[in-house]
Structure 1
Amino acid sequence: MRSILKTATLESKFPLLSVEQGCIISKDADITVVFRVELPELFTVTSEEYEAIHSVWNKAIKVLPDYSIVHKQDWYIKENYQPEQPREDASFLSSSFERHFNERPYLSQTCYLFLTKTTKERSKHQSTFSSLARGTLVPKEIKNKETVLRFVEAVNQFEQIINDSDFVRLTRLTTEQITGTEKEPGVFEKYFSLSQKQTTSLQDITINPGEMKIGDNSLVLHTLSDLDNLPTKVATESRYEKLSTDRSSCLLSFASPVGLLLTCNHIYNQYIFIDDHSANLARFEKMARNMYSLSRYSRANQINKQWLDEYLNEAHSKGLISVRAHFNVLTWSDKPEEFRQMKNDTGSQIALMGCKPRYNTVDVPTLFWAGIPGNAADFPSEESFYTFSEQALCFFTGETNYRSSLSPVGIKMVDRLTGKPLQLDISDLPMKKGIITNRNKFILGPSGSGKSFFTNHMVRQYYEQGTHVLLVDTGNSYKGLCDLIHYKTRGEDGVYFTYTEDNPIAFNPFYTDDGVFDIEKRESIKTLILTLWKNEEEAPTRSEEVALSNAVNQYIERLKSDGLMAPSFNTFYEFVRDEYAETIRAKKVREKDFDIANLLNVLEPFYRGGEYDYLLNSEKQMDLLNKRFIVFELDNIKDHKVLFPVVTIIIMEAFINKMRRLKGIRKMILIEEAWKAIAREGMAEYIKYLFKTVRKFFGEAVVVTQEVDDIIASEIVKESVINNSDCKILLDQRKYMNKFDSIQELLGLTEKEKSQILSINLANHPQRKYKEVWIGLGGVQSAVYATEVSLEEYYTYTTEETEKLELVGLTEQLNGNIEQAIKQLASIKRDA
Structure 2
Amino acid sequence: MAALLPIWKVENDTIISKQGDITVGFRLQLPEIFTLASDDYEAFHQGWIKAIKVLPKHTILQKQDWFIQDKHDSDLKREADFLSQSSERFFHERPYINHECYVFLTKKPQQRKPASSVFSNLLRPHLVPDDTTDPQQTVEFFNAVGQFEKILTDNGFVTLKRLTTEEITGSEQTVGILERYCFLQGQNDSPALTDIEFKPEWKIGSNYLQMYTLADCENLPSLCGPRITYDKFSTEKTKFSISFAAPLGQLLGVNHIYNQFIVIDDAPKTLKRLESKRRRLQSLSTYSRENAIARDATNAFLNEAVSQGRQPVKGHFNIILWTEDRGDLKHIRNKASAAIAQMDATPHEETKGAAQLYWAAMPGNAADLPTNECFDTFADQATCFLHLEGNHPGSLAPVGIRLGDRLTGRPMAVDLFDEPMGKLINNRSLMLIGPSGSGKSFFTNHLCRSLHAQGAHIVIVDIGHSYQGLCSLVDGYYFTYKEEDPIRFNPFYLAEGDVMDTEKLESIKTLLLALWKRDTETYKRSEYVALSNAVTQYFEYLGNNPDIFPCFDTFYEYLTHVFADVLRRDNVKEKEFDFDNFLYVLRPFFRGGEFDYLLNARQNLDLFHQRFIVFELDNVKNHPVLLPVITLMVMQTFINKMRKIKGVKKMILIEEAWKALMREGFAEYIKYLYKTVRKFYGIAAVVTQEIEDIISSPIVKQAIVNNADIKILLDQSKYQNKFTFIQELLGITDKGKMLILSINKDKEKGRIYKDVFIDLGGQWMRVYRVEVSKEEYYTYTTEEKEKVLVQQYAQKYGSMQKGIRMLIQETTSASQLKPLKDQR
TM-score, normalised to structure 1, is 0.95
- Is 1:213 aligned to residue 203 of structure 2? yes
More moved, 582-591 vs 619-628 = 582-591
Alignment of 1:274-285 (within 5 A): 274-285=264-275
- Is 1:19 aligned to residue 10 of structure 2? yes
Alignment of 1:373-772 (within 5 A): 373-431=363-421, 433-486=422-475, 494-514=476-496, 516-577=499-560, 579-584=562-567, 591-620=574-603, 622-772=605-755
Partner of 2:132: 142
Distance in 2 (CA, whole Å) between partners of 1:189 and 1:306 is 46
1:534 shift after superposition: 2.3
1:579 shift after superposition: 4.4
Distance in 1 (CA, whole Å) between partners of 2:130 and 2:792 is 81
1:570 shift after superposition: 2.4
2:91–2:411 Cα contact (<8 Å) kept: yes
1:565 shift after superposition: 3.9
1:506 shift after superposition: 1.0
More moved, 589-598 vs 191-200 = 589-598
| Amino acid in the other structure paired with 1:307 | A
1:16–1:25 Cα contact (<8 Å) kept: yes
Percent identity, please: 51
More moved, 615-624 vs 469-478 = 615-624
| Amino acid in the other structure paired with 1:12 | A
Secondary structure of the corresponding residue to residue 37 of structure 1? strand
1:439–1:695 Cα contact (<8 Å) kept: yes
2:314–2:375 Cα contact (<8 Å) kept: yes
More moved, 356-365 vs 616-625 = 616-625
Distance in 2 (CA, whole Å) between partners of 1:630 and 1:829 is 31
1:589 shift after superposition: 5.2
Partner of 1:29: 20
Partner of 2:800: 818
Secondary structure of the corresponding residue to residue 252 of structure 2? coil
1:466 shift after superposition: 1.1
| Amino acid in the other structure paired with 2:692 | D
1:802 shift after superposition: 0.9
Partner of 1:73: 64
More moved, 350-359 vs 664-673 = 664-673
Structure 2 counterpart of 1:204, from 179, 194, 199? 194
| Amino acid in the other structure paired with 1:241 | D
Distance in 2 (CA, whole Å) between partners of 1:256 and 1:341 is 19
1:440–1:725 Cα contact (<8 Å) kept: yes
1:624 shift after superposition: 1.4
Partner of 1:798: 781
1:496-545 alpha-carbon deviations (Å, 9 max, x no partner): 22111111111110110247211221111111112212223334344443
Partner of 1:489: none
Secondary structure of the corresponding residue to residue 13 of structure 1? coil
Distance in 2 (CA, whole Å) between partners of 1:560 and 1:685 is 35
| Amino acid in the other structure paired with 2:812 | R
- Is 1:785 aligned to residue 775 of structure 2? no
2:76–2:85 Cα contact (<8 Å) kept: no
1:713 shift after superposition: 1.6
2:237–2:721 Cα contact (<8 Å) kept: no
Alignment of 1:156-195 (within 5 A): 156-195=146-185
More moved, 620-629 vs 588-597 = 588-597
1:137 shift after superposition: 6.1
Distance in 2 (CA, whole Å) between partners of 1:163 and 1:129 is 37
1:484 shift after superposition: 1.9
1:225–1:326 Cα contact (<8 Å) kept: yes
1:370–1:378 Cα contact (<8 Å) kept: yes
1:495 shift after superposition: 1.9
Distance in 2 (CA, whole Å) between partners of 1:791 and 1:213 is 42
Against the structure 1 CA distance between its residues 498 and 364, is the aligned structure 2 distance closer, same or farther, given a 3 Å change threshold?
Answer: same
1:101 shift after superposition: 1.5
| Amino acid in the other structure paired with 1:372 | M
Distance in 2 (CA, whole Å) between partners of 1:176 and 1:141 is 29
| Amino acid in the other structure paired with 1:459 | C
Secondary structure of the corresponding residue to residue 231 of structure 1? coil
Against the structure 1 CA distance between its residues 787 and 140, is the aligned structure 2 distance closer, same or farther, given a 3 Å change threshold?
Answer: farther
- Is 1:371 aligned to residue 343 of structure 2? no
1:272-310 alpha-carbon deviations (Å, 9 max, x no partner): 000010111111112112222222222222211211111
Structure 2 counterpart of 1:40, from 9, 31, 38? 31
2:775–2:805 Cα contact (<8 Å) kept: yes
- Is 1:56 aligned to residue 47 of structure 2? yes
| Amino acid in the other structure paired with 2:31 | P
Distance in 2 (CA, whole Å) between partners of 1:158 and 1:825 is 59
| Amino acid in the other structure paired with 1:476 | H
Distance in 1 (CA, whole Å) between partners of 2:281 and 2:524 is 99
1:581 shift after superposition: 4.5
Against the structure 1 CA distance between its residues 115 and 208, is the aligned structure 2 distance closer, same or farther, given a 3 Å change threshold?
Answer: closer
Partner of 2:820: none
Structure 2: runs of 5+ lacking an equivalent = 816-824
2:109–2:132 Cα contact (<8 Å) kept: no
Distance in 2 (CA, whole Å) between partners of 1:277 and 1:608 is 96
1:601-633 alpha-carbon deviations (Å, 9 max, x no partner): 322221222211111112337211111222222
1:139 shift after superposition: 8.4
1:735 shift after superposition: 2.7
Partner of 2:818: none
Q: How many correspondences in the alignment?
A: 813
- Is 1:255 aligned to residue 245 of structure 2? yes
TM-score, normalised to structure 2, is 0.96
Partner of 2:329: 339
1:423 shift after superposition: 1.2
| Amino acid in the other structure paired with 1:501 | E
1:465-495 alpha-carbon deviations (Å, 9 max, x no partner): 1112222221111111222222xxxxxxx22
Moved over 6 A (4+): none
1:193–1:200 Cα contact (<8 Å) kept: no
| Amino acid in the other structure paired with 2:674 | F
Secondary structure of the corresponding residue to residue 413 of structure 1? strand
Distance in 1 (CA, whole Å) between partners of 2:122 and 2:32 is 37
Distance in 2 (CA, whole Å) between partners of 1:564 and 1:484 is 34
Distance in 2 (CA, whole Å) between partners of 1:320 and 1:565 is 89
Against the structure 1 CA distance between its residues 468 and 621, is the aligned structure 2 distance closer, same or farther, given a 3 Å change threshold?
Answer: closer
Against the structure 1 CA distance between its residues 423 and 142, is the aligned structure 2 distance closer, same or farther, given a 3 Å change threshold?
Answer: farther
How well do the aligned residues superpose, as a CA RMSD in angstroms? 1.8
2:442–2:781 Cα contact (<8 Å) kept: yes
